[in-house]
Chain A
Amino acid sequence: MTELSEYLGILVALVLAGAFAAVNVGLASVLGPKKPSRVKSEPFECGQVPLSLPVGRLSIKFYLTAILFVLFDVELVFLYPWAVAYRGLGLLGLVEMGIFLGVLMVGFFYAWDNGALEWQ
Chain B
Amino acid sequence: MTDLLILVPELVLVAVALALILVARHVRRAQIAAASVVVAAAAAALSLWFFPLDNPRTGFGGTIAGDGYARFFNILFAANLALAALFSVRHLEEEHVPPAEYCALLLLASTGMMLAASAVDLLILYLGLELMIVCSYILVGITRDRLISNEAALKYFLLGSFASAVLLYGIGLVYGVTGATDFAAIARGLTERNLARDPLLLVGVALVAGGLAFKIAAVPFHAWAPDVYQGASAPVAAFLAAGSKAAGIAAVVRISSTAFAPERAILSDILVALAALSLVVGSLLAIAQSNMKRLLAYSSIAHAGYALLGLISGTAEGASATMTYAFVYAFMTLGAFGVVVALGQRGEELEGYRGLAYTSPVTAALMFLFLLSLTGIPPTAGFAAKFAVILSAVRGGYVVLAVLAVICSVVSAFFYLRVAVLMYMTEPEGSAPGRFPVAVSAALAVAAVVTIAGGVFPDALTAWTVPP
Binding site for B on A (CB under 8 A): 103, 106-107, 109-110, 113-114
Q: Are A106 and B25 in contact (CB under 8 A)?
A: no
Return the chain A residue nearest B21 by Cβ: A110
Tell me the residues in window 3-48 of chain B with beta carbons closer than 8 Å to chain A beta carbons: 18, 21-22, 24-25
Do A109 and B22 have beta carbons less than 8 Å apart? yes
13 pairs, CB–CB < 8 Å, chain A vs chain B:
A103-B18, A106-B18, A106-B21, A106-B22, A107-B21, A109-B22, A110-B21, A110-B22, A110-B24, A113-B24, A113-B25, A114-B24, A114-B25
A109 to B24, CA, bound (A): 10
Shortest Cβ gap from A48 to chain B (Å) = 40
In the bound assembly, the distance between CA atoms of A107 and B25 in angstroms comes to: 13
**Shortest Cβ-Cβ A-B pairs, 7 listed:** A110-B21, A106-B18, A113-B25, A106-B21, A106-B22, A114-B25, A110-B24
Q: Chain A residues near B21 (CB, 8 Å)?
A: 106-107, 110
| In the complex, chain A residues whose CB is within 8 Å of the CB of B18 | 103, 106
Question: Shortest CB–CB separation between residue B107 and chain A, in angstroms?
Answer: 13
Residues in B whose Cβ lies below 8 Å from that of A109: 22
Distance in Å: Cβ of A118 to nearest Cβ of chain B: 13
A-chain residues with CB within 8 Å of residue B22 when the two chains form the complex: 106, 109-110
Look across to chain B and name the residue whose beta carbon is closest to the beta carbon of A109: B22
**Distance from B269 Cβ to chain A, minimum over Cβ atoms (Å):** 30
**Chain B residue contacts of A114, Cβ below 8 A:** 24-25
A interface: dominant SS: helix
Provide the residues of chain B in CB contact with A106, threshold 8 Å: 18, 21-22
Chain B 255-271 per-residue mask, 1 if CB under 8 angstroms from chain A, else 0? 00000000000000000
CA distance A109 to B22 in the complex (A): 7
Cα A101 to Cα B90 with chains together (Å): 35
Instruction: Compute how far the CA of A101 lies from the CA of B272 in the bound complex, rounded to whole angstroms.
Output: 46
B177 to chain A, nearest CB (A): 15
CB distance from B104 to the nearest CB of A (A): 9
Chain B interface secondary structure, helix, strand, loop or mixed?
A: helix
B3 to chain A, nearest CB (A): 11
Within 8 Å CB of B25, what residues of A?
113-114
Complex interface: chain A residues within 8 A of B24 (CB): 110, 113-114
Nearest chain B CB to A119 CB, angstrom units:
19
Report chain B residues within 8 Å CB of A107. Answer: 21
For A103, what are the chain B residues with a Cβ–Cβ distance below 8 Å?
A: 18
Shortest Cβ distance from A110 into B: residue: B21
Further pairs besides A106-B21, A106-B22, A110-B21: 10, Cβ < 8 Å: A103-B18, A106-B18, A107-B21, A109-B22, A110-B22, A110-B24, A113-B24, A113-B25, A114-B24, A114-B25
Closest Cβ of chain A: how far from B430's Cβ, in Å? 40
Please give me the residue from chain A that is nearest to B19 by CB atom: A106
Inside 8 A of A113's CB, which chain B residues have their CB?
Answer: 24-25
- The chain A residue sitting closest to B100, CB to CB, is A110
User: Taking CB as reference atom, which chain A residue is nearest B101?
Assistant: A110
How close is B16's CB to chain A, nearest CB, in angstroms?
Answer: 12
From A103, A106, A110, A114, name the one whose CB has the most chain B CB atoms within 10 angstroms: A110
CA distance A69 to B282 in the complex (A): 44
Chain A nearest CB: distance from B1 CB in Å? Answer: 10
Q: A36 vs B18: C-alpha distance in the bound complex, in angstroms?
A: 62
How far, in whole Å, are A107 and B24 apart by their CA atoms in the complex?
Answer: 11
Q: Closest CB-CB distance, B56 to chain A, in whole Å? A: 25
Complex formed: what's the CA distance from A39 to B272 in Å? 67
CB distance from B260 to the nearest CB of A (A): 27
Shortest CB-to-CB span from A95 to chain B, Å, is 11
- What is the chain B residue whose CB lies nearest that of A114? B25
A113 to B100, CA, bound (A): 13
Q: How far is the CB of B141 from chain A (nearest CB, A)?
A: 16
Give the distance to chain B from A84, nearest Cβ to Cβ, in Å: 20
A88 CB to nearest B CB, Å: 15
Nearest chain B CB to A90 CB, angstrom units:
15
B residues 230-267 with Cβ under 8 Å of A?
Answer: none
Query: Once the chains are docked, how many angstroms separate the CA of A107 from the CA of B22?
Result: 8
* A103 to B25 CA separation, bound complex (whole angstroms): 18
CA gap between A109 and B19 in the complex, in Å: 12
> Whose C-beta in chain B lies nearest to the C-beta of A115?
B25
Cα(A103)–Cα(B24), bound, Å: 15
Q: List B contacts of A110 (CB < 8 A).
A: 21-22, 24
Alpha-carbon gap, A106 to B21, bound state (A)? 7
Among A103, A107, A113, the most chain B Cβ lie within 10 Å of the Cβ of A113
CA distance A103 to B15 in the complex (A): 10
Question: Whole-angstrom distance between the alpha carbons of A113 and B25 in the complex?
Answer: 7
Closest B residue to A107 by CB, please name it: B21
Contact with A along B297-331 (1 / 0, CB 8 A): 00000000000000000000000000000000000
Complex-state Cα separation, A55 to B78, whole angstroms: 50
Min Cβ gap B96→A in Å is 15
Q: How far is the CA of A104 from the CA of B263 in the complex (A)?
A: 41
- Chain A residue nearest to B22 (CB atoms) is A106
Rounded to whole angstroms, the CA-CA distance of A106 and B18 in the bound complex is 7
> Which chain A residue shows the least CB distance to B24?
A110
How far is it, in angstroms, between the C-alpha of A107 and the C-alpha of B108 when the chains are bound?
Answer: 13
Output the least CB separation between B249 and chain A (Å): 29
